[in-house]
Amino acid sequence: MGVSTAFSQTCLAVPPQDVLQLSASGAVQVQQDLLVLTLSATREAPEAAAVQAQLKQVLEAALAEARAAAQPLQMDVRTGAFGMSPRYGKDGKINGWQGRAELVLQGRDFARITGTAGKIQGMSISQVAFDLSSEARAKVESEAQGKAIEAFKARATELARGFGFAGYALREVAMHSNETAPGPRPRMLAMEAKSASMAADAPLPVEAGKAQVVVTISGSVQLR
């Protein structure tokens, strides 16, 4: 009997009354401080082993050049994608191989990165992108979070009074953040070779854009 009564009471439980769902956001715009520059090399040959050997040689030379100028946080060096694929003739049979290797230079010292890229022989710049360092992102996320919380509280107070209540009590809350690039997009370049009018070792002119970090607070409040 006791179990039946408890089950009945659970089924007939009255859902919460005067609960309001809402969300608010806070945004902070910040200069992108991280340059990610990708160099690549492509080779072709009748045999896969020859392609691999050629790419290995050019990549090893590029790594040696880049490592000599590397500095923690200012310019970090890593290899990127490395792959090969067969090349087919009109008869559908493999008549050769082609491959591609990448080297990535990343960091805060734009002049060091572009200058080093200009000195590397056998690889060309294939992509230039900008981002936020983890330190910069954490700093602006904290600021955006504070703005989102204040906006959430102000919105909850405004709505509570608009519905004739004196205030509210927080029931549950969730937060998420994302990064966008408002206005003109950051420069993304795709180049198979350095400009013929530019000296081989001339630094590539780059200019970072701005990113906008947005934190959104969503949840529910109990009007009272």
| Whole-prediction pTM | 0.71
In whole angstroms, what is the distance from residue 131 CA to residue 170 CA?
36
Residue pair 39/126 in contact by the 8 Å Cβ criterion: yes
pLDDT tens, residue order, the chain (224 aa)? 445 545 555 555 666 789 999 999 999 999 999 999 999 999 999 999 999 999 999 999 999 999 999 999 999 999 999 999 999 999 999 999 999 999 999 999 999 999 999 999 999 999 999 999 989 999 999 999 999 999 999 999 999 999 999 999 999 999 998 877 644 344 444 343 344 334 445 567 788 888 999 999 999 999 99
Residue 14 has a pLDDT of 61
CA distances from 163 to 151, 168, 172 (A): 18, 11, 20
DSSP 90: T
109, 28 Cβ separation under 8 angstroms: no
Q: Residue 191: name the closest of 143, 144, 127 by CA.
A: 127
First to last CA, the chain: 37
Determine contact, residues 34/133, Cβ cutoff 8 Å: yes
* Helical axes 110-119 vs 48-69, angle rounded to 10°: 140
Instruction: Select from 132, 114, 176, 119 the least CA-distant residue to 30.
Output: 132
The tokens of 140 are what? Answer: 């602006």
Gap between the Cα atoms of 153 and 4, Å rounded: 43
